[in-house]
Structure 1
Amino acid sequence: MLTNNRESKENNYYLAGFWMRFWAYLVDLIVIGSIDRLLVKSIFRLLGISLENTGMFSPIAITTALVFYGYFVLMTKFTGQTIGKMVFGLKVISLKEAKRTWGMILIRELIGRYISTTISILYVIIAFTSKKQGLHDLFADTTVVREENKKQLLQPAL
């Protein structure tokens, strides 16, 4: 679908590079951290559940992981964007299918993101692949593009 590392001749999509995606991800981490602090911790305190993170299977660790992965899965499935991507005008697209499927999103956002967040340096792959894909994109045959009005791209600037 995408023919080179800058623009698709078919769709006039501009690929989102490493730095744009990095800043969008930081915004997403702020949103997720806010949800955890405002909602999750408040509910835990209200219910008298310990906030102590005693390991991978503590209630707070499980809940924050569900919020983290749930945020990325649901936002990407239903809008093609997270809030961070919306702020920077980015969108996840499939390289093989017309629309995003549950299988594709689950592979991208659960399996791929788990590996990428476990070994953070793997995010740098985005800078070196021709379609600006991270490991999670490679697993799911997706990429992230800049969302711009196609008519603007086709018409000369006035």
Structure 2
Amino acid sequence: MQVWIGRNGERFGPYEEGEVRQWLRDGTCRPDELGWYEGMTDWRPLGELYPDDRPAMGSVPPVPPPFMGVTDVAEPEYAGFWLRFGAWVIDYLILMVPFTVISLSMGLGAAMTTLLSQFENDQAAALAAYAAALQPITFVLLTLGFVYYAFFESSKWQATPGKMAVGIRVTDTEGRRISVARAAGRNAIRLVNAFTFLVPMIFYVTAAFTQRKQGVHDLLASTYVLTGRADKTVAAPAPRGGHGGSFDA
């Protein structure tokens, strides 16, 4: 079993249970430091998790040294631009199927035929009629795309099918699953893509330069895109206050 340790506002691990027990016995870890392993609902003091390995009564354990040689801070790996671009391409191809069906059922084919037949006679009128015909289609497609991204990114998978395919997921700044409201806000920002060409490029290109590889929509919604699928990643939950104390990692 693997155990995470909370110390001085940082989250370390995971470590093998035997190592943690030994550290308790020799004073490398203190009984009042917090621990967590998969299946627990909250962080608990190590002395409560492993009472048989607590120092003897009356003895004062030394101040624990740093985890020399084993300091594996649980720092997430942020998904880079090209991984995210690959996910976008896959999602785009997936959405093209319902987009095409909906567009044709709403008269896109007829609108294009009318445009071509009228273009030679009155280009301005033909283009205006075509744009008017596209408005309801565009609205439906934008709504479908919005629901697609907001639903999947707030789901237990924390990722659209495209993101799952390349092995990345969306989280909040604590590494947790985002709420429906946050997912909706994040993707509402992305809807600006429909109104200008320059801005969406800026939205995504910033992921190649920001410290945590965040796009503009990630920065505004306080989200990260991390490597690793949600169903393959075990993340220690954010510790809560209560018996034994807490820490803010």
TM range (shorter): 0.7 to 0.9
User: Unmatched 5+ residue regions in structure 1?
Assistant: 1-7, 152-158
Q: Percent same amino acid among aligned pairs?
A: 26
- 1:1-158 matches, within 5 Å, as 9-10=73-74, 12-38=75-101, 40-41=102-103, 44=105, 49-51=106-108, 52=111, 54-55=131-132, 58-78=135-155, 79-96=157-174, 98-111=176-189, 113-115=190-192, 118=196, 119-122=199-202, 123-147=204-228, 149=232
2-structure distance, mates of 1:56, 1:80: 36
Indicate the SS of the match to 1:54: helix
TM-score (norm 1): 0.74
Cα RMSD for the two superposed structures: 2.5
- Maintained 8 Å contact 1:17/1:127: yes
Match of 1:155 in 2: none
CA distance in 2, matches of 1:124, 1:87: 21
Q: Deviations over 1:25-59 (max 9, x none)?
A: 11111111122113x145x2xxxx42235249722
> Retained in 2: the 8 A contact 1:13–1:147?
no
Residues in 2 aligned to 1:130 and 1:96: alpha-carbon distance in whole angstroms: 16
The DSSP-based 3-state class of the residue aligned with 1:87 is helix
1 or 2 for the larger relative contact order (CA 8 Å, sep ≥6)?
A: 1
How many residues align structurally? Answer: 136
TM superposition shift of 1:62: 1.1
Name 1:3's counterpart in structure 2: none
Say which one has the larger Rg.
Answer: 2
Distance 1:65 1:143, change over 3 A: same
Q: Which amino acid aligns with 1:25?
A: W
> Is the 1:96–1:141 contact (alpha carbons within 8 Å) kept by the matching residues of 2?
no
- Secondary structure (helix, strand or coil) at the match of 2:186 reads helix
What secondary structure, in the 3-state scheme, does the structure 1 residue paired with 2:107 have?
A: coil
Distance in 1 between the 2:233 and 2:175 partners? 20
Length-normalised TM-score, structure 2:
0.49
CA deviation map 1:38-92 (0-9, x unaligned): 3x145x2xxxx42235249722111111111111111111131011101101000
Q: Once the 2 structures are TM-superposed, how far is the Cα of residue 136 of structure 1 from its aligned partner?
A: 0.6
Moved more, 89-98 or 20-29: 89-98
Against the structure 1 CA distance between its residues 131 and 116, is the aligned structure 2 distance closer, same or farther, given a 3 Å change threshold? farther
Distance 2:211 2:97 in 1: 34
Instruction: Compare the two structures and name the one with the higher helix fraction.
Output: 1
Which amino acid is 1:81 matched to?
A
- Please give the per-residue CA displacement for 1:89-147, whole angstroms capped at 9, x wherever unaligned: 10001004743112211111112x12356313211000111111000100111111111
- One-letter amino acid of the counterpart of residue 125, structure 1: T
| 1:26–1:84 Cα contact (<8 Å) kept | yes
The alpha carbon displacement at 1:13 in A equals: 2.7
